[in-house]
Chains A and B, each alone.
Chain A
Amino acid sequence: MFLELNELLNASPERPEQGKLTLLCDTKTDGSFLVHHFLSFYLKAGCKVCFVALLQSFSHYNIIAQKLGVSLTAAKERGQLVFLEGLKSCFDVLFGEEQHVRQTSPLRFVSEDGSNLKTMYEFVRTSLMASGSDSWKCPVLLMDDLSVLLSLGVRPVDVLDFIHYCRVAVCSQLKGNIVVLVHSNDDSEDEANELVVNSLCHQSNLILWAEGLATGFCKDVHGQLKIIQKGSSELKAERTLLRIYQYKIQDKNVTFFARGMSAAVL
């Protein structure tokens, strides 16, 4: 986890928030560093994490998590992390030999025509359900990323249904958190994607939007992060907080600073 981001979000691993939906969005840049942050943050906080990783392999996340101080293999062994490796499961579903594996895999929708995400929802629910011997704190669902589901043939309505079911199960019933990554573009012609992103923006409590700089490529400032924190629904008087910071990604850390205050300039 990145300590500076924790300070900006006023979050600490000792007391993680509960019942929140966090949306990670990136535009014209790579926002996956936010996924790594939240993964290591929740693992350090002692939460049970279900990670649906559709983009990269397990070893990729593991190597980066080790740089951030968490071991994913150890977390998997002690039952704290349930990792769905999308690339491998997809292969099993399409070319697997056993019928049984194909029927029960959470990615069953890839081989069938329909865009039924029900098996994936069941997978999420069973993995985050508290079993008797667990002593983990609130469960967390982490998805990387949701735009890939649209490319796999799922309709946007089904994606939104899936998120809704997950919110009911994870956020309100199990009092956990959900963190989801999507891609977006300002002048995008991909209407299905924009529909999903807009809908999620309205539903989420915290939005972290990573963008490239409007002025172009810079070696010292890799992008700009917009943090939008919505007031909780009970207190309607709270306004939405919008803050903008710029960041630079290094090998083991990401530094955040106010706009124009990059270390290279000062």
Chain B
Amino acid sequence: MAALATGGGMPSDGATSFQRKVPASSRLATIAGTRPSVRHGQLLLSSGLPSLDCVLGGGLAVGTLLLIEEDKYSIYSNLLFKYFLAEGIVCGHNLFVASAKEDPADILKELPAPLFDDAHKNQVNEKETAIKSKQESQESMKIAWRYQNLPRIEVSPAASARIGHYYDVSKMVSPELLQSTKWHRFFLPEEMSLHPEIKTCNMTCGYTRLLQSIQRIIYREGFDGSYPQNKAIMERVTNLSDTVVGLESFIGSERETNPLYKDYQGLIHVHKIPRLNSLICDVSGTKDLAFRLKRKLFTIERLHLPPDLSDTVSRSSKQDLAESTKLLRSGCGAMAIGKKHLDF
């Protein structure tokens, strides 16, 4: 990035003595943790999850509103909040935490600890070597020889210049790091008790209070969509928000025990992406996205179910189906030597 390059670098290996001059006043103020977008030139901020950033077209634009529809027990949406707040802490931003149910101080204590780059690089290197070894073993495909020339299916969206960090969910953020960040709080029951003359206790008056105490801060909120009488408000808020993402977790549904979905914890629906400064936006081509949570990694991948090799027409959750999925995990490469016989 031109804005981040420092002038007067040492010439490496005597190649050239060209020194880059930094303009006297940089065009874009550099705020830590942001980068300008290629598509529309606005500053982008990471949402805390690099894979969510990829799905949203590079990140969240500064000054937009991200609305998250919670999943059934709001487990993963709370996790997304924590990632976002942790990202803010790591980048040194000021935080504004507004909560109606839980005290903001408690929320901040439970943020995941960041993994810094050297720890992650080892992981990336491991992954790369694993991929290379797989490729070598797939040199010749026997049955599916026509597919040999096709590129491998991209399961996770390619990560371009990363601005996010990875977090370790099992460790809590260190208290020293917490103390060094400035944060503001807004806790709805507190505000209500301070101003008892306001009779109605609905979200709109909470919003006036919220508005009065916000400066130039990016915030996001989750909405509990379980109350049917609020559907009209849900529609209005969805229309007003710039980015809308919905989470659907598999907990409690019949998909939890379905072996086809056993790697994933839920689905992600991207309902809306803003079109800033342009008629078009970076909407991804696939709408079937599932998320998977591991201790150090929260990835969003394209959901693809393996082909059905069973004799019967309908796909049901059979045990041997699960086994054949293991063999076919690497795409159409490996030979399907499964328990089921295939006759052609």
A and B bind: yes
Q: Which residues of A contact B40 (CB under 8 A)?
A: 63
List the count of A-B residue pairs having beta carbons below 8 Å apart. Answer: 53
Q: Is the CB of A189 within 8 A of B231?
A: yes
Tell me whether A190 is interfacial, beta carbon within 8 Å: yes
Give the contact stretch, choosing among A130-138, A161-169, A249-257. A249-257
How far in angstroms is the closest Cβ of chain B from A217? 5
B232 touches A151 (CB 8 A): no
In the assembled complex, the Cα of A219 lies from the Cα of B282 at a distance in Å of 11
Q: When the two chains form the complex, which single residue of B235, B236, B277 contacts A64, counting CB atoms closer than 8 Å?
A: B277
Query: Which residue of the partner chain, among A32, A59, A94, contacts B275 with CB atoms under 8 Å?
Result: A32
A150-B236, A151-B236, A191-B232 as given contacts; A250 in contact with B279, CB under 8 Å: yes
- Cβ A249 vs Cβ B279 within 8 A: yes
* CB of B56 to closest CB in A, whole Å: 16
Cα distance A150–B240 when bound, in Å?
11
Find the A residue at minimum CB distance from B239: A183
Residues of A within 8 Å of B275, CB to CB, are: 30, 32
Q: Please indicate which of the listed interface residues A190, A193, A252 has the most CB atoms of chain B within 10 Å of its own CB.
A: A190
A94 to B285, CA, bound (A): 41
Q: Of B232, B240, B280, B285, which contacts A189 at CB under 8 A?
A: B232
| Assembled-state Cα–Cα distance A98/B116 (Å) | 48
Contact status of A251 and B232, CB under 8 A, knowing A94-B211, A219-B285: no
Q: How many residues of A contact B (CB 8 A)?
A: 31
Q: A216 to chain B: which residues have CB within 8 Å?
A: 287
Residues of chain A lying within 8 A (CB to CB) of residue B279? 33, 36, 64, 67, 249-252, 254
Q: Could you write out 30 A-B pairs with CB less than 8 Å apart?
A: A30-B275, A32-B275, A33-B279, A60-B276, A60-B277, A63-B40, A63-B277, A63-B278, A64-B278, A64-B279, A67-B278, A94-B212, A147-B236, A148-B240, A150-B236, A151-B239, A185-B235, A188-B235, A189-B232, A190-B235, A192-B232, A193-B232, A216-B287, A219-B285, A249-B279, A249-B280, A251-B278, A251-B279, A252-B279, A254-B279
